[in-house]
Structure 1
């Protein structure tokens, strides 16, 4: 049961960490009319965007890290069979590193998605309506993977962002360590993050998105 629910708990921990700050850091500032003063500071817009993005991502990484640590401690001290599976062939360190790298990339990607949605919104309430739909889509892969065993996962599935995170975690939790799956997951998340950052940067350079409709 822990192996079944852990991926959703950890991933929702990451997304839950970035959601409040993402809604407030763009849409909230537009609503409070403080974005104009921020843009008047002698700082490039690229630096502002990167600073905000990394701030949001940090909350997600910390939240995901705490969720991962809670999961690891519960497995180490409250279970026996799953604890043995996580230490299969001495891969416990690989398990932790793969988890942390994937969660970091997930936090960066999720933060950029929510930054874009927050730029689209004119108020925090509007941003919340957008992000609530994204959260529902984000957990959809969990239900799609519930009926699949780790041996039924196709390599092409690890090229699909978010879906590949759930799939990779499912492999790791059942003691399957596939370097190809890890490389595909890291590569696809990195590429999507770069593309979305370019979109977010273009929006952040336009006053209509940064300052709102007013």
Structure 2
């Protein structure tokens, strides 16, 4: 149980109000995760115990950390096996394996049906980019989209949206990242559903849809 004594009067008001909405409602939801029993306002002049705690000396046995050391780097992959994993999962995917088998055999009667739009590069299935005048393609020279099997789609969505370097981008920004690099049939629908179910986005981002009830006619009696 948590009892709070603070010189922030707005904090007490926030927990007492019953009609919060928007950002205030999200703050209330965040605070509800803690077992806060009571919040009382205590003016700063008499709230000296808080200031005392902040000035309490550190124990003498603590050692000073070396501030000149380099911090750990983010997202450094020593041995990246992503392409190998995608190749393996493509062969294990019930929908992609027949396409891979057909493209592996140029004499197959259905080879012309899948090439284009698909192509095998080093045993990995790609899809030709369409349309060819795509701006990202002109800038980067990328012509092919990596076909993602069903088993790895959630992981790709997580890397593109949840990763610390992704920053929980919005729908259009995240979709742009995906459509310029990878491909699967239901990518747009899966991304929309993934972002809607993201706890961090639901807690901290603005709601871009109106929550007001639609206007209705009311019968007025004489």
Q: TM-score range by the shorter chain?
A: under 0.3
- Relative CO higher for 1 or 2, CA cutoff 8 Å, sep ≥ 6? 1
Bigger share in helix = 1
When Rg is computed on C-alpha atoms for both structures, the one with the higher figure is 2
TM-score under structure 2 normalisation? 0.25
Bigger share in strand = 2
TM-score under structure 1 normalisation? 0.25
